[in-house]
């Protein structure tokens, strides 16, 4: 059975009578006229559809949206209404969820270097779980919890030693990683929890093996490692750990050559492996958590740009410049990420040409898409880049002192601003000129 993470475009993508692209019943050309460009667009129907795919594929599993993919108050509100919890990695993400009215018991706080202030805020908000990443955090979390007279449910994040065939920067489950306890360190972490850190309650194990994963076997292997370790710890320490968090990482379709598995394919592998291994290692069925992020939000998002200048290199490429680039989508520069794009406005009888879509930032590496075939472009054309819901806004910057784009939510022919476009006043709002420099 297919799922929306396998789609290249939002499920509501159509062409209207005038030949313009529309998403969520909204003309993309009209959206740019109303809100300007660059513009992030999120299709609510696609977002809710993939949530429902996950809920059908994973019954009786706790769904935890990986907030780092895209975290705004409106997105948190939608995910919460679909009965998702949240995997968070900062005070900002926790605070956003709080602002959106999310049940704080459905919050997991993850990350490899949580600060004192972040931990205290999470405790003050009574979040449901901490995923503890290292020995320093174990000690600090117990110290703060003790001073607050609170008892904290925790998971230990482990590195299971699984290599995924993905970009090296987004592999997190292999042995040489900044995240989590090595398998050889688990007992050393459990001992002080059992004997010294009385304000910590160990509930289970957490692993995350990578991102943009197209393989299914790795999840089978991950399940066996986690179940085996729970069985071993139950016997050695006489403790009953009953939670397993498998992380996320399921891939999405950025280009036609991408072939990610459906969430139903992944669920089948996970459930079969779970059944096999709870019998093999003789443990009771644990509560399962998973943390999809990219595969929840990515396909629902597109980014709209306006075409500006162009340059034909003699005997070389033709560059077409857009009014955005690496500050609103740094992934091509960081990961050599590839995207699919389409002209959003009607183009009749135009010859097809190969161009490279360049950003407007002062970096030679500011290239969004290399060698793409598009109708001959003119100044003012609108370009729609697909599958930009995940990590584009999250990783956006003010490089070159550019304002971050607005974000709109579309649904049933209605559009609503969910992130306001930054202004020049926003850019300088935190600047301070010392009195001694004022003439």
Q: How many CA atoms lie within 13 A of 320 on its CB side?
A: 25
Higher pLDDT pick, 396 / 164: 396
Q: Which structure tokens are listed for 262?
A: 């459906």
- pLDDT band of residue 267 (cuts 50, 70, 90) is very high
Q: Which residues contact 182 (CB under 8 A, 6 or more apart)?
A: 158, 159, 175
* Omega before residue 38 within 30° of 0, cis: yes
What number is the average pLDDT over the span 351-378?
Answer: 96
What number is the average pLDDT over the span 77-97?
Answer: 98
171 pLDDT higher than 50? no
- pLDDT band of residue 111 (cuts 50, 70, 90) is very high
Write down the pTM of the prediction.
0.94
What pLDDT does 160 receive? 87
51: closest CA among 3, 2, 106, 6? 3
362 a catalytic residue? yes
What number is the average pLDDT over the span 80-84?
Answer: 98
164 pLDDT higher than 50? no
- pLDDT band of residue 205 (cuts 50, 70, 90) is very high
Strand runs labelled E in 292-366:
301-312, 318-322, 341-343, 352-358
What pLDDT does 1 receive? 85
Q: Would you state the torsion angle of the CA atoms of residues 345, 351, 355, 359, taken in this order, to the nearest 10 degrees?
A: -20
What pLDDT does 166 receive? 45
d(CA 130, CA 291): 14
What pLDDT does 176 receive? 58
Q: Which structure tokens are listed for 245?
A: 């968090």
What number is the average pLDDT over the span 167-178?
Answer: 47
The full length of the chain comes to 439
What pLDDT does 163 receive? 59
What pLDDT does 349 receive? 73
What number is the average pLDDT over the span 111-120?
Answer: 96
170 pLDDT higher than 80? no
Domains detected in the chain: 44-297 (3.20.20.10)
Tell me 105's DSSP state. Answer: G
Name the percent of the chain lying above pLDDT 70. 97
- pLDDT band of residue 165 (cuts 50, 70, 90) is very low
What pLDDT does 178 receive? 77
Among 51, 164, 362, 384, which one carries the catalytic annotation?
A: 362
Yes or no: say if 153 and 203 are a contact pair by the CB < 8 Å rule.
yes
User: Per-residue pLDDT tens for 228-257?
Assistant: 999 999 999 999 999 999 999 999 999 999
What pLDDT does 177 receive? 66
What average pLDDT does the structure give for the chain? 95
d(CA 267, CA 58): 6
What number is the average pLDDT over the span 307-324?
Answer: 96
User: Per-residue pLDDT tens for 46-62?
Assistant: 999 999 999 999 999 99
Q: Which structure tokens are listed for 376?
A: 């001959």
Yes or no: say if 212 and 255 are a contact pair by the CB < 8 Å rule.
no
Name the percent of the chain lying above pLDDT 90. 92
State whether the Cα torsion 408-294-214-176 is positive or negative.
positive
Yes or no: say if 209 and 249 are a contact pair by the CB < 8 Å rule.
yes
């Amino acid at each position: 059975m297919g799922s929306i993470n396998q789609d290249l475009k939002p499920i509501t993508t159509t062409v209207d009578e005038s030949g313009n692209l529309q998403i969520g019943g909204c003309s993309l050309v009209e959206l740019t006229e109303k809100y300007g460009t660059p513009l992030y667009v999120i299709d609510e129907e696609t977002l809710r559809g993939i949530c429902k795919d996950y809920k059908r594929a994973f019954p009786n599993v706790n769904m935890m949206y990986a907030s780092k993919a895209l975290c705004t108050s409106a997105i948190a509100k939608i995910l919460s209404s679909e009965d998702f919890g949240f995997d968070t990695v900062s005070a900002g993400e926790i605070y956003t969820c709080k602002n959106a009215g999310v049940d704080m018991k459905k919050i997991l706080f993850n990350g490899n270097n949580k600060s004192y202030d972040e931990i205290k805020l999470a405790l003050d908000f009574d979040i449901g779980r901490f995923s503890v990443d290292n020995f320093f955090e174990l000690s600090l979390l117990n110290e703060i919890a003790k001073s607050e007279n609170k008892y904290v449910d925790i998971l230990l994040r482990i590195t299971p030693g699984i290599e995924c065939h993905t970009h090296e920067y987004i592999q997190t489950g292999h042995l040489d990683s900044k995240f989590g306890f090595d398998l050889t360190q688990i007992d050393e972490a459990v001992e002080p929890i059992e004997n010294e850190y009385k304000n910590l309650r160990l509930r289970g194990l957490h692993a995350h093996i990578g991102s943009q994963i197209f393989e299914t076997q790795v999840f089978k292997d991950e399940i066996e490692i986690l179940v085996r370790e729970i069985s071993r710890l139950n016997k050695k320490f006489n403790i009953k750990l009953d939670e397993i968090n498998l992380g996320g990482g399921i891939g999405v379709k950025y280009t036609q050559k991408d072939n990610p598995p459906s969430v139903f394919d992944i669920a089948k592998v996970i459930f079969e492996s779970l059944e096999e291994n709870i019998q093999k290692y003789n443990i009771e069925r644990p509560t399962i958590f998973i943390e999809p992020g990219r595969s929840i939000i990515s396909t629902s998002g597109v980014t709209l740009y306006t075409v500006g200048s162009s340059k034909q290199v003699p005997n070389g490429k033709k560059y077409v410049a857009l009014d955005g680039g690496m500050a609103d989508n740094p992934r091509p520069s960081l990961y050599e990420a590839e995207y699919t794009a389409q002209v959003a406005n009607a183009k009749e009888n135009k010859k097809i040409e190969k161009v490279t879509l360049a950003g407007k930032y002062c970096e030679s590496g500011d290239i969004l898409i290399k060698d793409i075939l598009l109708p001959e472009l003119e100044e003012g054309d609108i370009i729609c880049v697909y599958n930009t819901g995940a990590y584009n806004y999250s990783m956006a910057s003010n490089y070159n002192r550019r304002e971050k784009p607005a974000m709109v939510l579309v649904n049933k022919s209605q559009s609503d601003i969910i992130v306001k476009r930054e202004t020049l006043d926003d850019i300088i709002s935190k600047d301070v000129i010392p009195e001694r420099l004022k003439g």
